[in-house]
Amino acid sequence: MFHGTITEELTNHEEWSHYNENVIQDHKDFVFVKFSGLHLKSMENLQSCISLRVCIFSNNFITDIRPLKSCIKLVKLDLHGNQIKSLPDTKFWSGLKHLKLLYLHDNGFAKLKNVCVLSACPSLLALTMFDCPVSLKKGYRHVLVNSMWPLKALDHHVISDEEIIQNWHLPERFRTYNCRLFFNFCPALKKGSTYEDEINNIKYVISKINEIMAHNSPVLIVQRWIRGFLVRKHLRLPY
């Protein structure tokens, strides 16, 4: 099973299809591909990568991501810095049942309606869309946060309870964009990162988001206190 960065001679999409027959046949076994800053315009060669879990295709000239439809095992998808202006329909996103981290910042998205198709992605925890025209739209964050139920972090900030529960005005510590909720979960790419590095990073990002929520979500804090109270009551322990 392939789990490393594909070497430079494979990154030129014209050479890809002629590299050698064995590699072409083994596309289905690839779990990690990293093509960043290579001026690529197409993702068609990934259609057969049905085992792909981590895909980094940042800083290219990609406009169409529909070839990823068969990559249903994706956990992390990094497409920032491309020329994508529209997203596939909800059927595409509902098929990516394992996708947790999606980086789409610095693209050409302009319409909130198109971006809302991401609500069909059942496990999406963290999303970036800053530096896209749509991020300047009034109500951009409110619409995305309240249309994607699994989402926990958007554009460098973990989502606050204040954003989800209407008309709930919280103390400064728990408010939207508070520094306690800041987390840069899409740092600059490291050269030579391996599949193991990426999987460890995914685990770290998810763990850190959950940790921030646990300490800065009044709802979770109250729930934790109530569970503790009920356990102590059941065990008849002192309060």
Q: Pick the residue with more confidence: 133 or 16? A: 133
Buried/exposed 220-238: b ≥16 CB within 10 Å, e otherwise: eeeeeeeeeeeeeeeeeee
For the beta carbon of residue 17, count every other beta carbon within 10 angstroms: 10
Between 4 and 70, the more confident residue is 70
Tokens of 34: 């990293």
Query: 113 with 137: CB under 8 angstroms?
Result: no
Instruction: Decide: residue 7, CB within 10 A, 0-12 exposed, 13-18 middle, 19+ buried.
Output: exposed
pLDDT of residue 239: 57
- Cα separation, 102 vs 122, in Å, equals 13
213-226 pLDDT, tens per residue?
Answer: 999 988 877 777 77
Q: Nearest to residue 129, comparing CAs of 110, 148, 147?
A: 110
Q: DSSP secondary-structure letter at 86? A: -
pTM for the structure as a whole: 0.84
Given a cut of 60, whether residue 59 has pLDDT beyond it is yes
Q: What is the pLDDT of residues 87-107, one digit of tens each?
A: 999 999 999 999 999 999 999
Asked whether residue 81 carries a pLDDT value surpassing 50, the answer given is yes
Residue-wise pLDDT for 182-216, tens only, equals: 999 988 777 888 999 999 999 999 999 999 999 99
Q: What angle do CA 154, 56, 8 make, to 5 degrees?
A: 160
pLDDT of 156 reads 94
pLDDT the model gives residue 74: 98
